[in-house]
Amino acid sequence: MASDDQIIKVVGDRFCVPYTMELLVKRKIQSFSNAHYDVFDATGNVLLQVDGGVWNFQRKRVMKDPSGLPVITMREKQALSWKQQWVVHQGESSEKDHFLCCVRRSNALQIKNKLDVCLASSYKDDGRDFRVTGSFASLSFKVRRGNSIIAEVSHNFTWGSCKGKESFKVKVYPEVDYAFIVALVVIMHENDNA
């Protein structure tokens, strides 16, 4: 078991497990105004669900646990900037006390898809705690803390992808908050489809 300084918890302790987790994230457009993500473990159990509008001015996604309780809310921050930015809060809050992290594009013009993640504790420093790097062509990416890879995501392209159904295989390494990684999957995908 890792010590507390090795555990990467952003959303909460209950989402950190001492073994590598293999997850399947399925995205489905349910209507012209609603997209839905389901997150399954290797045995097919639903761990998390994410709902939110597809075409609305205030982009907001709410992650819920299997019982339907809100875990986090992701909102695209409307700013006059070339860099897209999302803020993540606990539950359905938007209060400063419940702020967890900010996720933004590294550069306005990018050849590779890159996001910087700043936790609430380092948000004012304008530094980054995590980096998400991927390819525009494959929609696959890796999450790094420093030089260490803490999660890997691969896009499963199928004919269903053309019909609004997509899936991602997610590998989350031990003691890493899988709800945080799923939030990054949603934000990365939403940025790609903006």
Name the residue among 77, 47, 44 with its Cα closest to residue 179. 47
Residue that wins the pLDDT comparison between 76 and 122: 76
14 three-class SS: helix
DSSP secondary structure string for all residues of 130-188? EEEEE-TTT--EEEEETTEEEEEEEEE--GGGGGTEEEEEEEE-TTB-HHHHHHHHHHH
Q: How many CB atoms lie within 10 A of CB 84?
A: 18
**71 residue type, one letter:** V
pLDDT at 156: 75
Report the predicted TM-score, pTM, of the whole model to 2 decimal places. Answer: 0.88
What's the pLDDT tens digit per position in 116-155?
999 988 765 667 899 999 876 667 899 999 999 999 999 8
Q: Which residues contact 177 (CB under 8 A, 6 or more apart)?
A: 8, 9, 10, 11, 12, 15, 16
Q: How many CB atoms lie within 10 A of CB 60?
A: 15
* Domains, the chain, with CATH or none: 17-193 (2.40.160.200)
191 three-class SS: helix
pLDDT > 60? residue 6: yes
